[in-house]
Amino acid sequence: MNKQTRNILVFIAIFVVLAGGFYYLSFKSASEEISGKNKKIRELDAKLAKADEYRQKIALLSQEIDDLELALKFAKEKLPSQEEITLLIDDVNKLGTVESNISITEFTPQKQIPREIYYEKPYSMRIVGSFHQIATFFNKIGNLNRIINVEDLSLSLGKNNYEVATFTLKTYIYNEGQAAGPVAAKRRGR
C-alpha cells in the first residue's frame, strides 16, 4: 500500500471516528433529550386529561349542589322555620274566619314533637260552620304552600244545624340544626 492510500485511509478513519464522536456527543444526546421530552409530554397530556376529567366532575357536582340547594329552598318553603309558624297560624285563622266563614272556637297548641330533621307541632282545633264551609276551610288548608295535615277529624251536629268539627291540625317546622348534622358528619367522614 502506498503512502498516499494509507494517508487517505487514515484520513477516512479519523473522519469516521470524528463523525461517530460528533454523532454520539450531539445527535445521540439530542435524541435522548427528545425522547425524554416526548415522555414528559405524554405524562403532561395524561395529567391534562385527568385534570379535564376532574373539571367535568366538578361541573357536574356544582350542578348537583345547585339542584340540592334549590330542593332545600323548596323544602324550607314547605317546612317553615320557628319564626314563620306565627304567620302560618295567622293564615289558618284568616282562611277559617274570613275566607271560609267558620267560627274557630278552640285553637290550642300541643307539645312539639321532635323528628329526625323537623318538628311536628300539633294544635287541637274545634270549628263551627256549615258542612260546606268546613269543607271549604279544609280545601283552603290543603292548598297552602306549607305542609299541614288534618288528623283525628270528628264531625258532630251543633246548635242551629251547624256542624262542629274537632280535629288535630299538624304543622311541621324545619330543624336546620338537625338537618345540617348528618351532612356535616358525612363530610367529616370523607
- Give the pLDDT confidence of 127-145 residue by residue, as tens digits: 999 999 999 999 998 888 7
Closest CA to 161 of 126, 133, 137: 133
Average model confidence (pLDDT) across the chain:
83
pLDDT in tens, 19-48: 877 777 777 677 778 888 999 999 999 999
pLDDT of residue 178: 60
Contact 121, 114 (CB under 8 A): no
User: Who has greater pLDDT, 14 or 190?
Assistant: 14
Contact 125, 166 (CB under 8 A): yes
| Residue 59 identity (one-letter amino acid) | A
Break the chain into its structural domains and give their ranges.
1-78, 82-178
Q: How far apart are CA 119 and CA 187, in angstroms?
A: 24
pLDDT confidence bin for 71, thresholds 50/70/90 = confident
Stretch 147-166: mean pLDDT, rounded?
89
| 82-178: CATH architecture | 2-Layer Sandwich (3.30)
Q: How far apart are CA 85 and CA 109, in angstroms?
A: 12
Kindly report which listed range (1-10, 43-52, 150-159) carries the lowest average pLDDT score.
1-10
Name the pTM for this structure: 0.56
